[in-house]
Structure 1
Amino acid sequence: MGFADDHLIPLVDEGLGNSAYLVDLGDGRALAVDASRDLRALRAAADRRSLTVAFAADTHLHADFLSGAVQLAHDDGAAVLASAAGNRAFEHTALADGDETDLGGLTLRALATPGHTDEHLSFLLLDGTRELGVFTGGSLIVGSAARTDLLGADRAEELARAQYRSLRRLAELPDATAVWPTHGAGSFCSAPPGAERTTTIAAQKRANPLLAAPDQDTFVRKLLGSLGSYPAYFDRLGEANRRGPAVLRSAPTLPALSLDQVPHLIGEGAQIIDVRPVADFAAGHIPGAVSIPLRDQFATWLGWLLPDDTPLVFVANPDQDLAELTWQALKIGYERLAGHLDGGMDAWTADSGEQERIELLTADRIAGRPVLDIRQRAEHIAGHIPGAVHIELGDLTERSGEAPRRPVVACGHGERAMTAASLLQRTGHKDLAVLDGGPADWSKATGRPLEETA
């Protein structure tokens, strides 16, 4: 078959910073690469073309989302293609370096590219002998390479050296070969990437600073030096993907919970997650609730801050999408979803339920109060309010005692800061406030420059 550009359909998860791919094989069948358990976008793309997924390829044991390959095997009869070295505990076609799969006109060749994980494969898509493109997963990505510390800090350097060799191998492909990575901008699996999500071998040879490293030691130093923290749930999902996620037999739903049920569940150890916008949470929320506004990054912060074995009760506004909430939780392995408060905070308030509040302050009103900056280290270094105490949001529960008294909590816009303030409130901090906006707003309001850390 001839392969046209529109035969490849990228499916971007903006929240996790990843791309899955659907390849139209031209005969009513499709190949899916690195599909998430949340298959809604993939299903919609396949339905538009009347495609059945015949093959589901995973480049590696993903740490940031549950794979959809097992579900595609169940629903569509897809053949799962994955590394033999991954020792997956479910039926799949186990591939080693150089193994080829006939897709019916096109060929998929496995290339061993360890580094991001031990068992990582890239998949070279061939039309006869012509290299069309390569699905590089967490190996070569736009402007960088994916992190090598997910199997433990003690193995990060060893795997970085493997990543060096893998990138050099991929760079030997013809310059015109398209590069289709899984990890991209916004992914915590990545070192800092560019904004583009796909590229070519030639473009990366020109512009990727890691490929420009003159030797292996320099490459390793650059890669390891660029790595920041990553969500806690990453440490669990690799093994969950090796075992294989549970098949979902029907579309998941989130039960409505009565006013009587919610206090009972809290008494049994359930956690309240309030997904409403920042201003709504600030104005009044159930005591002990954690604020995680429902947006693209919801799954990241849920997985970073809450254990996966705690029953979760959600508080949402009537216009918020409960299906989106549910899928974001399920795609990172959060199954204990007790339900949502029927009627939301309006029902809680009407029943005279106790509430707590957190002050929301504009940049011109925070003078004289200590600032707690909870952004990632790289963000803080690039520019922060002078004198701000820095504790990353992911570390705040363990380090809450280091937070200043009566802080104004700041992030880039306010969502993460409200999450941080809700965590501090649970540990007994009083007189909390959140900056409505971020450091740039403070600089504009005061006319003072931000402070950079060398």
Structure 2
Amino acid sequence: MSETAAARAGGGVEVTAVVDEGLGNSCYLVDLGDGSALLVDPPRDLRAVRAATEEAGLRIRFAADTHLHADFLSGAAQLAHDDGAVVLASATGRRRFEHRGLAEGDEVDLGGLRLTALATPGHTDEHLSFLLRDGDRSVGVFTGGSLIVGSAARTDLLGADRAEELARAQFASLRRLSALPTETAVWPTHGAGSFCSAPPGAARTSTIGQELTTNPLLGIEDETRFVERLLGSLGSYPPYFLRLAEVNRRGPAVLDPATTGLLAQLRVSAVRELHEAGAVLVDVRPVPDYARTHIPGSLSIPLRAQFATWLGWLVPPDAPIVVVGNPDQDLAELAWQAMNIGVERLVGELAGGIDAWAAAGQPTASTRLVGPGEIDERRRVLDIRQDPEFTTGHLPGAVHIELGALAQAARDLPDEPTVLMCGHGERAMSAASLLERAGHRDLTVLAGGPDDWAQATGEKLQVGS
């Protein structure tokens, strides 16, 4: 789920980015030169961070949060508990656990290096960027959810009624950051794949000079035009974003790493009773396995890098969860992804998996899986990708409903023969399972996406909404 990339930010300062490809975020490990380290925007899942610090022979002395994160739970409180790290965060964030509250211009002596707090509201009210200095030289700036590569983070997470106000604050914050020396490295938290940011792209770090040249928002000098451009780029986001900031304010519960990834083994009879009582059966097996046979009413969310996002988007936060997986799947990875977004009601997993369920004489279902050239033109095509994906190119005549909105829309959607499609097939199978739960039948899932269909048929995709 995570990867690390080390880069020297000039003058020998070593900064290691630990990237969560699933949530689209980066945290940063800064070697302070004395065997200790600063960690900026750490996630609750600290496994990759621990691996990076152990490899570098470092101990974490400081943990800094740029803002009250909405898309993941912070690991700062865990680091304070486990490592005795000093937590650095905005004083106006009113965190309810021990931390050093910082305001505009406050400096922290890191033992040679210095960290200066810059007030950069916009993504959130209390947002800080942290300028890393070596003497009088600006080495880099941790911009969190302010300036990001090619854009700026969204400003509507505190409600649509405040989105414009915060976009205007974001305008001022970006202009302030863009006045830093051009060689200053830019280390954002949010990047491609994050629902907190707008643009796709592979680059996760940059420099002030590069952003001045390539970031379209920095080229807009009129505040109103900036606001229109930023707000016009925002799409939907998972509902758990609305509750995690407050959990981060209180401080997430400290976890025991030795037991967090362990799931209880549940017999078929227990799983049946839990399901009848309202537990959600989350089937994390690959798409072909779910298509071949699954428990009726189970929800397909294949275990992959993006698992946490769709788990938090599609499963109600108060619902008990029972996992159905394959023996070779790493369910500890599943548990940690869930904990990273505050999903903690994992009751256990079906012991023996789907084979045990079928062997016990319990009912099973299947879903037809077809290739790009096998779509029956008489069927409705339902494209459940995000809006920007759909407008880039889709099958002519396709109906569009985002996956995150499908559960609510299913009740009004006519039950007719339907092909579900996304970019590869994972989200489409999730959509099929949602429709099946709502009583729809005769569902088919496309293994592939619109580009595969165009290549197989020689037909052109339709562009636009």
CA contact (8 A) 1:142 1:196 kept: yes
1:362 matched residue in structure 2? 371
Residues 237 and 113 (structure 1), Cα distance of their counterparts in 2 relative to 1, 3 Å cut: same
Per-residue CA deviation, residues 99-132 of structure 1 (Å, 9 max, x unaligned), is: 0011111111000000000000000001111100
User: Which of 423, 429, 432 is residue 440 of structure 2 equivalent to?
Assistant: 429
Kindly state the Cα deviation for residue 402 of structure 1 after the two structures are TM-superposed: 4.2
TM-score by length of 2: 0.96
1:240-259 correspondence to structure 2 within 5 Å: 240-251=247-258, 252=260, 253-259=262-268
What letter matches 1:244 in structure 2? G
Q: How does 1:174-193 map to 2 (within 5 A)?
A: 174-193=181-200
1:310-325 alignment runs, 5 A limit: 310-325=319-334
- Alignment of 1:453 onto 2:464: yes
Distance 1:189 1:393 in 2: 18
The Cα shift of 1:192 comes to 1.2
Q: Distance in 1 between matches of 2:152 and 2:256?
A: 36
CA distance in 2, matches of 1:284, 1:354: 10
What is the match of residue 418 of structure 1? 429
Q: What pairs with 1:141-220 in structure 2 (closer than 5 Å)?
A: 141-220=148-227
- Quote how far apart the aligned CAs of 1:349 are: 1.6
CA distance in 2, matches of 1:308, 1:389: 29
SS of aligned partner of 2:255 = coil
Instruction: Report the counterpart of residue 392 of structure 2 in structure 1.
Output: 382
Secondary structure, aligned partner of 2:197: coil
CA offsets per residue over residues 269-316 of structure 1, 9 Å max, x none? 211000000010011111110000000000000011111211100001
Query: Which residue in 1 is equivalent to 2:418?
Result: 407
Contact 1:372 / 1:403 at 8 angstroms: preserved in 2? no
Query: In structure 2, the residue corresponding to 1:132 is in which secondary structure?
Result: strand
- Range that drifts further, 251-260 or 275-284: 251-260
Residues 178, 201 of structure 1: 8 Å contact kept: yes
Partner of 2:354: 345
Q: Distance in 2 between matches of 1:410 and 1:80?
A: 44
Report the Cα distance in structure 2 between the residues aligned to 1:131 and 1:63, rounded to whole angstroms. 29
Q: Aligned residues, how many?
A: 453
Matched with 1:442 is 453
**Offset at 1:194?**
3.2
CA distance in 2, matches of 1:363, 1:208: 37
| 2:84 corresponds to which of 77, 92, 97 | 77
Letter in structure 1 aligned against 2:435:
L
Identity %: 66
Amino acid across the alignment from 1:307: P
Q: Distance in 2 between matches of 1:233 and 1:6?
A: 36
> Structure 1 stretches of 5 or more lacking a match?
none
- Structure 1: how far apart are the matches of 2:140 and 2:223? 26
Once the two structures are TM-superposed, the CA of residue 20 in structure 1 deviates from its matched residue by 0.4
* Secondary structure of 1:166's aligned partner: helix
What residue number does 2:383 align with? 373
Q: Distance in 1 between matches of 2:200 and 2:125?
A: 22
Distance 1:44 1:212 in 2: 40
CA distance in 1, matches of 2:290, 2:12: 45
Shift of 1:403: 3.4
Distance (Å, rounded) in 1 between the aligned partners of 2:25 and 2:202:
12
In structure 1, C-alpha distance between the alignment counterparts of 2:237 and 2:256, rounded to whole Å: 31
* Aligned with 2:306 (options 288, 297, 307): 297
**Ranges in structure 2 where 5+ consecutive residues have no aligned partner:** 1-8
What is the rounded CA distance, in whole Å, between the counterparts of 2:200 and 2:371 in structure 1? 32
RMSD of the TM alignment (CA)? 1.2
CA contact 1:3–1:127 (8 Å) conserved in 2: no
Q: Partners of 2:254 and 2:27 in 1: how far apart?
A: 19
Report the secondary structure of 2:275's partner residue: helix
CA contact (8 A) 1:61 1:86 kept: yes
In 1, the alpha carbon distance for the partners of 2:23 and 2:330 equals 18
CA contact (8 A) 1:144 1:193 kept: no
**Displacement of 1:442:** 1.3
Is 1:142–1:193's contact at 8 Å kept on the other side of the alignment?
no
* AA aligned opposite 1:401: R
Amino acid at match of 2:434: L
Question: Which residue identity lines up with residue 178 of structure 2 in the other structure?
Answer: A
Q: Secondary structure at the match of 1:31?
A: strand
Q: Summarize deviations over 1:166-214 as a string: whole Å, max 9, x none.
A: 0000001000000000000111000214320000000000010000013
Give the Å deviation of 1:7.
Answer: 1.6
* Letter paired with 1:152: G
C-alpha separation in 2, matches of 1:359 and 1:228: 31
**Counterpart selection for 1:393 from 403, 416, 428:** 403
Alpha-carbon shift at residue 453 of structure 1 (Å): 1.4
Could you tell me whether the CA contact under 8 Å between 1:17 and 1:184 is conserved in 2? yes
C-alpha separation in 1, matches of 2:139 and 2:70: 28
TM-score by structure 1 length? 0.98
Deviation per residue, 1:321-366 (Å, 9 max, x gap): 0110000000000111101111111111222221011111112221
Q: Secondary structure at the match of 1:396?
A: helix
SS of the equivalent of 2:18 reads strand
Q: Which residue of 1 aligns with 2:345?
A: 336
- Looking at structure 2, the residues matched to 398 and 190 of structure 1 have their Cα atoms a distance apart, in angstroms, of 25
Note the 1:13-32 alignment, pairs <5 A: 13-32=20-39
| Inter-partner Cα distance in structure 2 for 1:421 and 1:255 | 28
Q: Secondary structure at the match of 2:219?
A: coil
Deviations 1:144-166 (A, max 9, x none): 00000000001000000000000
Per the alignment, residue 120 of structure 1 pairs with 127
- Stretch moving more, 5-14 or 79-88: 5-14
SS of aligned partner of 2:199: coil
Letter aligned with residue 191 of structure 1:
A
Counterpart contact for 1:272–1:314, Cα < 8 Å:
yes
